[in-house]
Amino acid sequence: MREKIETLFTEIERLTANSLEEVEAIRIKYLSKKGIIATLMDEFRHVPADRKREVGMKMNALKQAATERLQQLKEQFAQNGTAQAGNDLSRTAYPVALGTRHPLSIVREEICDIFKRLGFTIAEGPEVEDDWHVFSSLNFADDHPARDMQDTFYLENGQLLKTHTSAAQNTIMRKYGPPKPGHALKALFPGRCFRNENIDASHENTFFQLEGMMIGENISISNLIYFMKVLLTEVFEREVKVRLRPGFFPFVEPGFELDINCVICGGEGCPTCKHSGWLELLPCGMIHPNVLSMGGIDPEKYTGFAFGLGLTRLAMMKYNIRDIRLFNSGNLKQLKQFTR
């Protein structure tokens, strides 16, 4: 009988279960009224009197061990939904719930990677800025409507939340200075921007942009178009047609609106592109000479282009997201579906 008990101790220690049903089956097998331990208790009657004490203690210990082991198995299911193989130390103690990257982070990192390969420096500017960086250094006239309190969040100390990533242009020009002969200053600066918008399916007061800038001795519009085509082809994983329309922004001369061939209908016309076959994607242009001067770069010698990519809008197009509010919603169930 002593041997039987010892064997059962080992057996119980090694018990595993793959489901709660199996835990229950184990309970029935060992601890129910007709289970192994109860049967053993019956046999206890036949133990010689002088050994009853010793065997009795072992029996109790066995019952205790079985109860505890059962509880352990049960708890593993309660916490994690799966049981552990008793002695398999190579298995994780519990299933790790992995997080996923936010769709905006995925697109931002993807674009940063593309531009890093093209030799761009990734920079970032502060979110709280002053009027000089957000407007004046970008050639905005004092009475320009973009300065309006209705669009811009001003802080009590006179600073403001940046309304566009272009706010970092001046800082970057001053930090790196004019490029060496045969080189170009190439920088990409993603960032969060704020505008006092009424929120609906296509407007947010907090959104992401990604600004790119290239300055050198012979930079032209064709350089701009080349980089845009590389970018869009990689992001959408296919050839994307682009077109430029004139656009006016104080910090570029000439300025353009860059449209892409509608990625949803392929140019045939659909509600998203308002049946035009084109989607407006980003403003861009050749950096205004005044902006170069204010950045300490000689506009007689250097030219450059800049573009302000609406990262939030690009992510909406890439993933066919219809409602911009999803991005800041914290709705994990929805946000977790984007993996690449």
* Residue nearer to Zn ion on the CB measure, 70 or 260: 260
By CB under 5 A, is residue 335 in contact with Zn ion? no
By CB under 5 A, is residue 317 in contact with Zn ion? no
* Residue nearer to Zn ion on the CB measure, 36 or 265: 265
Say how far apart CA 44 and CA 316 lie, in whole Å: 74
Compute the 3-state secondary structure of the chain and give helix, strand, coil in percent, each to the nearest 5.
Answer: 40, 20, 40
Per-residue binder mask for Zn ion (CB under 5 A), 273-292, x = binder: x-------------------
State in angstroms the smallest separation of the CB of 202 from Zn ion.
15
Say how far apart CA 312 and CA 274 lie, in whole Å: 19
Say how far apart CA 96 and CA 79 lie, in whole Å: 12
Among 264, 274, 322, 337, binds Zn ion (CB under 5 A): 264
Peptide bond into 299 cis (omega under 30): no
Q: Are 187 and 120 in contact (CB under 8 A)?
A: yes
Q: Which stretch binds Zn ion (CB under 5 A): 1-9, 141-149, 196-204, 255-263?
A: 255-263
* Residue nearer to Zn ion on the CB measure, 193 or 317: 317
* Residue nearer to Zn ion on the CB measure, 51 or 275: 275
Among 265, 299, 318, 334, binds Zn ion (CB under 5 A): 265
State in angstroms the smallest separation of the CB of 280 from Zn ion.
12
State in angstroms the smallest separation of the CB of 265 from Zn ion.
3
Q: Which stretch binds Zn ion (CB under 5 A): 77-85, 146-154, 228-236, 264-272?
A: 264-272
Long-range contacts of 226-235 (CB under 8 A, 24+ apart): 227/115, 227/118, 227/307, 228/258, 228/282, 228/284, 228/307, 230/114, 230/118, 231/111, 231/114, 231/115, 231/309, 232/260, 232/281, 234/110, 234/114, 235/107, 235/110, 235/111, 235/114, 235/314, 235/318
* Residue nearer to Zn ion on the CB measure, 23 or 273: 273
**Cβ contacts of 318 within 8 Å, gap of 6 or more:** 107, 235, 236, 263
Q: Which stretch binds Zn ion (CB under 5 A): 83-91, 153-161, 259-267, 307-315?
A: 259-267
Among 23, 66, 262, 281, binds Zn ion (CB under 5 A): 262
Instruction: State both tokens at 175.
Output: 């930090």
State in angstroms the smallest separation of the CB of 271 from Zn ion.
8
By CB under 5 A, is residue 173 in contact with Zn ion? no
Q: Are 35 and 28 in contact (CB under 8 A)?
A: yes
242: amino acid identity, one letter: V
By CB under 5 A, is residue 270 in contact with Zn ion? yes
E strand map for 152-274: 160-161, 185-194, 206-216, 242-246, 252-261
Q: Are 168 and 139 in contact (CB under 8 A)?
A: no
State in angstroms the smallest separation of the CB of 267 from Zn ion.
7
Per-residue binder mask for Zn ion (CB under 5 A), 61-100, x = binder: ----------------------------------------
- Closest residue to Zn ion, judged by C-beta, is 262
Q: Which stretch binds Zn ion (CB under 5 A): 38-46, 55-63, 258-266, 303-311?
A: 258-266
Interface contacts to Zn ion, rule CB under 5 A = 262, 264-265, 270, 273
